[in-house]
Structure 1
Amino acid sequence: MSVSIDFGTAFSRVAYCSSHVAGGIVEQIPTCLLYDDAGRVLARGLEAKHAIPMPATVICERFKLFLEPSALRDDIVDPRLPKLPSGKKAVDLIIDFLTCLWDYARERITQEIDVVADLNSADVWLTVPATWDTKGCRTMRDAAIQAGLVGAASADDRDWRDRLHIITESEAAAVHCTRLTNFRQLRSSQNFMICDAGDTVDLTVYKIIGSLQNFEIAEMCACSRSNCGSLLDLKFKELVRTLLADHPVHLEPDSLEYFTYAFNETGKLEYLGESNDGDMFYFTCFNVEDPDDPSVGLVNGDLALPGNLLRREVFDPVIEQVLNLIESQTRRVDQRIDALLLVGGFSGSEYLFRRMNETFGSRIKVIARPSDADTATCRGAAQLGLPGHPLVSSIIVPRSYIMGVSLPVEPEDWQRPQAYITENDAGDHICENRLQYFVSKGAILRRGQRVRAKCRKFSSTPRDFLFVAMFYATDSDKIMRYTDELAGEMYTLARWTVDLTNLPNFQQHANNPQPGGFYTDFEIGLELDSAEIRGVILYHGYDYGQVTLDLLV
């Protein structure tokens, strides 16, 4: 059995499928927990979401945002983050929720297939945003293991942790969209964009590689992300606050949440745009007091809003932002987009879908969305556990990555100005201005592949143990030999100072110093994923240090 968990900011879902059992979706539950003042979970999901505020309790929502790169890298506090319960760290909230969600999944899957589900032997696919870096993904993986999403199926099951897979939400959605009839019109080497419009809007571009019978999907460009989806709720609340400024009873927190809930359940997806300009949209008031003031839309206990007002103040600003984000991502890729596929909770908006067709229909051949677009991520992740489904196994490198190196002089180097060549204490002539290309722009790398380059450091004494690596990047596809040949086209990524004292061969030479110094041989590796570029120092295949070189999002 293959089980997927789409752990969302506002809502989470579980899906499952098997080669022997018809797949199903466990309905979504709010990503919400209710704690007491001792840090114990009192309720989760819908029960926690609708809990009446009580003394000595705290409702926690949106705690997924604790793992956003801005929070982990820059310590930027998102104002939407909840107050932590007593004795709890941010990761504890994620562990607690995943534990509750997994217990719920066991119960529901067992009910649906009418047998006790052996989820200990299942592959579990946990989705994360494509913008998350290694630290966020690693933290999520550790939390999932602590929550018991995978476990040993037998006494001799030592590889049980390998059954937990972390994949990006856009990758899972892309896998699901490959089943669309319109998608099957695409050919190898063509490009498509996934627009995942939910609480946030994520855009990722992929290229189809290989044959249509056995094709793969390669990620072309790092994901772009914006909080467009959640802005609809904020815009709606701002409009309500403005209209009802003189009616404070309707602006109490419970009342505002009730209005917003009604907007999400009806108005958000049903609104069609200009054709609704003359229509009225009604939202029942939570409080029965102060029911009438037609001048601001209060009529018999309802808030009546004209369609043209909703379009101007709520929908148009957000949809324009989504369209601009797609335009920006298209320019960033700098290649033709052959299909634009819309998924996510907000993808059901007919107004958004129509505006996309109006804006991009003349340039993009296929603009489509699956009928189950709101669950595409969860369904696609579950399908990855079964044979025959394409996996995003490759990444197309967005720029060339280079390291400045000092190498023994070759005959060609003597043709350069003498200033490029120096002589070390061992009497060897060294070229100080050479470039070592790790990978060129447009190259296709397999996921997890390390590109390696051999390095050598000369140490005159055991105290000379620091190796300085200069890393560069360029959008140029030219291959050059010396640093000055890419002047103006190459920019510095990082200056990485590596301590070599942990390397066994350095220790061996340092403990038995030779007159005239010694050389230490090792490797520098480059790793690339959806969110960042990392440098790794290696000796005989073992890691001895790592640094983040480039952030792609």
Structure 2
Amino acid sequence: MYNCCVVVGIEFGTTHSGFGYAHTANKDVHVNCDWPDCSGKFKVPTVLSYDDEYKNVRSWGYEALAEKPIRKVKIKSPIRKPVELFKLLLGKMKNEPPLTHEKAISDYLHGLGSVVKKEIYVDLHEDVLIILTVPDNYKISIWTMRECAFKAGLLNDRYSQNLKVITESEATALFCMENLKTHNISVGEKFIVVECGDDKVNLTTRMLLIDEILSVILEKAEDNCGGSFVYQEFLKFIEHKIGSSAINLFSKRHKPQLQYLQSVFEREFLIPFTGDQSKFTISSLDLEEYCSDLMQYCKGKYRDNMIKNEWVIELKLDDVKAMLDPIIEKIIQLIYSQLNLCNNDCFALIFVGKFANSGYLQLRIKETFCRRVQHIFHIPQNEVPIIKGAVQYGLDLTYDNTNISYKQFQILSTTIKKLEEENNDLTNKYNEKANQHQIIVENLKTEIKEIEEKHSENIQHLENQINDINQQYQNKIKLQEQRESQMQNKLPEEIQASNNDFNKYKSLYDNLQKKYDDLTNKYNEETNQHQIITENFKIEIKGIEDKYLKYIQKLENENKDIIQHQNKNKLQEQEIDQLQQSLKLKEIQLQSLEKEKKELDAENDYLYQRNTNLINQLESTSFEDELSNYRLEDVAQNYGMELNNDISKLNDNLKKYITNLKQDVIVNVEEIRKLLLLYKCPVKITNQKDDLLLIQAVLQRHIIETIFSYATKYFQSTGQHYHLESDIINQASLLSTLLTDASKYRTGNDGIMHIASTKLRKQIYSILNNCGFSDIHGKSKTTYEHPFITFYKEKLSKTMNELRTIKDQEKITVENLAATIIREVIKIFWFRLKIHESVVQYVWIPYNAKVNETFMKGENIDDNDNENLYVDLCYFPLIGRDLTSDNHEVYVPAKVFVRKTNDKFNNIK
């Protein structure tokens, strides 16, 4: 809940921007329409005009635009240099100016902020909550936008809580839900928001959860079918009349006239067009009137035709439909897909955006979906839904809407049960389709197997017949050969007779051979035919398999959707369980508080007398007396005075432990690059010699962070004699909590309670700072090193040896420092910072923060060169008190490795 007088919603758009505001007292949203050099319009162009060096802003908004085209008058070139599209990182400009997008955004927000300050009449830094809208997939980080807002004067410091960010789609949805209230929408109803932008059409299916203040996104879809595509079709129509070269040259050299032509097309042709033949009259576009410079680029037959028609182009009903129908069909298909995903259970279709004002689009949508959706309406462009939705978001933040009533909890449970029933229906349908598919597949397998068996039997029968015939002919040939052998032994007279018989048998053999060849050919033909049949079956089977694989894939996709739906239901169930547990916990706490109240009333008199005695005792005695002659209070004060000296000593030891990285020390450059990325520093290093200072800095940061991880793990463990330091801190924390409870639930002097708790903390941490992690006395009066120091000094040295390699003699000297450094780091950051009156904080400065000499010190830049410096890496944290407030106190500035502004892009990969 935010305590403020006014909520300001700022739509920082790509081409146009605007703002609205509302007082929290009456909640009436007012959208500004009074701008420098223009009034009566809700938005101002997102344009800047700079001087020749791009350092100083000459003008912004309408004043920065090039001269508007005047009818029948040739447009002159603009004097100023306009800068646009800096919201898109200046990425779409052909001649990109020497300007960073952060500077352009800061300069533009500064101009916009000056109008905001004049309009709201309250302190912008103290009494205003600013809501800034950004696209859903914006490339610039929230921190960068916050930095730009600070430089623009919208915030009093970078960490101010008076700035919140919301996406454009969420702001639009909030505004749409306000409109749905008038249509009596109920909890659990689904509605689709159709954002018709210039480039894309985004569809978001949402479900209302609780009292018109909370909705969840069920599905999203988008396509490139915005209003700019209709305008492209319009340019193609003109190109058909005057030629492509004329349009191309005109687009490059006369952009203001082209923009003016687009506005004329939207105002006079696109928005009024409804597609009704009875209301349509042929429209005429006079090129000489609207874009006179276009005429000079029209050549040849195109010029002759245009002169004949007096430079007038006629647009008929079918011409305009041909421009709109392809785009509208895409939008309709998107809506169909969303309705199918939500099972046609949709309460309303809401259209927003410039293209949504098209009468023809509205008519086509209503004709197509009037029977499937209860309510279809569009939000007019002059309602500026993003701005008003942002203001509404800020107003919701100023009131505590986080507690959900039991009635609302029941409504949410009913909605989730409804979703579960829908999910079960989808699951049953999927199982039925899967069973049907399985039956079809089994039948096909059976048929294929029968066909294969039948053909296999035929082939085997043919092969057996051929083998029998071959065997018969072979036997006859052998018999003939035997007879020929016998005949050679007879008389020559018988040889002649035998020859005759041989010729007879030879003729018979030839006939048999011919029959054999015929059978073989027949067999080959049947084999080929069988092969063809087999291949056809394989093709048919493959087609059937492909068909059912696609069907299976479709079912699997449906199953994935069901699983995603189930996951959403599980998430909602977890949230419900958490709410139920929270309610039970509150009931238990309430019962406990009632019981304690009774006990407190009964003990009031006794505690009053006891506190009186305690006051007298504290006035006459002190903790110093109880600790004999050892004055821990004075020691704590001395520790605060010596903090800088101890940190300086720690830095000296770190430098010795890292070494100067020269001589025989070899650095693992690849691992150093990984460390830089680990600490979010995208600076490129090339070699050990040129980047020596940065390598030393990141090694020091890594040593400190590694020791932090060792200490964190240690203080999470208790119970052993070498966990004595951890046990002391845990018991001190428990005792501090008990003292706080005593001051909360017992009457008495709260000042004494606070003083006792503070002294207890300071004295405990003074003791730990004096003897924590020191050597341990053994049972046999021997002394040995603390096991924590022994274990982790070896682990730290092993880690560092993987990052840099040094020779043996120097290695022994350096590794002896590991125990000292671990002990010093833990004592400073775990014990020393808690000895002060107020607990001291430490902060790592993030990458790309601007150098502030109050908070940081850069050692790689000369003292006289301290302008426009930015942080590459922080290698020792900032130490101080109340660092985010105006009453901050810096004890030790952060040590940072810095760079100049003009070196930024040269050092980054």
Aligning the two structures, in what range does the TM-score lie when normalised by the shorter sequence?
0.5 to 0.7
Q: 1:167 aligned to 2:177?
A: no
Identity over aligned pairs, percent: 24
1:58 maps to which of 81, 85, 88: 81
Aligned match of 2:53: 38
Q: 1:380 aligned to 2:406?
A: no
TM-score normalized by structure 2? 0.39
Listed as ranges, the matches of 1:496-511 within 5 Å are 503-504=709-710, 508=714
**Cα gap change, 1:206 to 1:53, in 2 (>3 Å):** same
Aligned match of 1:529: none
**Partners of 2:208 and 2:214 within 8 A in 1:** yes
Aligned match of 2:376: 367
SS at match of 1:240: helix
- Equivalent-residue separation in structure 2 for 1:374 and 1:233 (angstroms): 23
Q: CA deviation at 1:6?
A: 1.1
Aligned match of 2:271: 269
Q: CA deviation at 1:356?
A: 1.8
**Partners of 2:193 and 2:350 within 8 A in 1:** yes
**Partners of 1:12 and 1:29 within 8 A in 2:** yes
**Partners of 2:7 and 2:24 within 8 A in 1:** no
**Partners of 2:190 and 2:346 within 8 A in 1:** yes
**Cα gap change, 1:173 to 1:246, in 2 (>3 Å):** closer
Q: 1:338 aligned to 2:351?
A: no
Deviations, residues 185-209 of structure 1 (Å, cap 9, x unaligned): 2211111121122224332222111
Asked which structure has the greater CA Rg, the reply is 2
Aligned match of 1:99: 110
Listed as ranges, the matches of 1:272-283 within 5 Å are 272-275=274-277, 279-282=282-285
Listed as ranges, the matches of 1:286-365 within 5 Å are 286-287=291-292, 295=305, 300=310, 302-312=312-322, 314-331=323-340, 336-365=345-374
Q: Which amino acid aligns with 2:273?
A: Y
Deviations, residues 185-240 of structure 1 (Å, cap 9, x unaligned): 22111111211222243322221113x4x652223345646462322333323332
- Equivalent pairs counted in the alignment come to 399
Q: Which amino acid aligns with 1:256?
A: L
1:441 maps to which of 568, 573, 577: 568
Deviations, residues 499-538 of structure 1 (Å, cap 9, x unaligned): 9987346775996549xx9xxxxxxxxxxxxxxxxxxxxx
Q: Which amino acid aligns with 2:386?
A: T
SS at match of 1:166: strand
Deviations, residues 27-78 of structure 1 (Å, cap 9, x unaligned): 21112222333113233222323345457x53222332339xxxxxxxxx6x
Deviates more, 1:165-174 or 1:365-374: 365-374
**Cα gap change, 1:240 to 1:503, in 2 (>3 Å):** farther
Deviations, residues 311-341 of structure 1 (Å, cap 9, x unaligned): 20x3222222323333344456667332211
SS at match of 2:389: helix
Q: Which amino acid aligns with 2:88?
A: L
**Partners of 1:241 and 1:251 within 8 A in 2:** no
- Equivalent-residue separation in structure 2 for 1:89 and 1:207 (angstroms): 41
SS at match of 2:178: coil
**Partners of 1:176 and 1:379 within 8 A in 2:** yes
**Cα gap change, 1:180 to 1:126, in 2 (>3 Å):** same
Listed as ranges, the matches of 1:382-421 within 5 Å are 382-387=391-396
- Equivalent-residue separation in structure 1 for 2:401 and 2:333 (angstroms): 26
**Cα gap change, 1:41 to 1:324, in 2 (>3 Å):** farther
Q: Which amino acid aligns with 2:709?
A: L
Stretches of structure 1 that go unaligned for 5 or more consecutive residues are 68-76, 111-115, 153-157, 399-436, 450-465, 467-498, 518-542, 545-553
- Equivalent-residue separation in structure 2 for 1:223 and 1:510 (angstroms): 56
- Equivalent-residue separation in structure 2 for 1:359 and 1:174 (angstroms): 23
Q: CA deviation at 1:247?
A: 8.6
Q: CA deviation at 1:132?
A: 3.5
Deviates more, 1:171-180 or 1:188-197: 171-180
Q: Which amino acid aligns with 2:364?
A: R
**Cα gap change, 1:85 to 1:250, in 2 (>3 Å):** closer
- Equivalent-residue separation in structure 2 for 1:294 and 1:348 (angstroms): 37
SS at match of 1:239: helix
More helix by share: 2
Stretches of structure 2 that go unaligned for 5 or more consecutive residues are 1-5, 33-41, 68-75, 405-414, 420-563, 579-673, 675-704, 715-786, 796-842, 845-909
Q: Which amino acid aligns with 2:206?
A: Y
Q: 1:48 aligned to 2:64?
A: yes
**Partners of 1:196 and 1:343 within 8 A in 2:** yes
Q: Which amino acid aligns with 1:243?
A: K
- Equivalent-residue separation in structure 2 for 1:391 and 1:193 (angstroms): 28
**Cα gap change, 1:92 to 1:380, in 2 (>3 Å):** same
Q: CA deviation at 1:3?
A: 0.9
TM-score normalized by structure 1? 0.61
Aligned match of 1:131: 137
Q: 1:85 aligned to 2:97?
A: yes
Higher RCO by CA contacts (8 Å cutoff, separation 6 or greater): 1
**Partners of 2:226 and 2:355 within 8 A in 1:** no
**Partners of 2:284 and 2:312 within 8 A in 1:** no
SS at match of 1:386: helix
Aligned match of 1:192: 191
- Equivalent-residue separation in structure 2 for 1:235 and 1:281 (angstroms): 17
Aligned match of 2:150: 145
- Equivalent-residue separation in structure 2 for 1:391 and 1:337 (angstroms): 30
1:217 maps to which of 195, 198, 215: 215
Q: CA deviation at 1:20?
A: 4.6
Aligned match of 1:239: 237
**Cα gap change, 1:41 to 1:186, in 2 (>3 Å):** same
Listed as ranges, the matches of 1:108-127 within 5 Å are 109=119, 116-120=121-125, 121-127=127-133
Q: CA deviation at 1:15?
A: 0.9
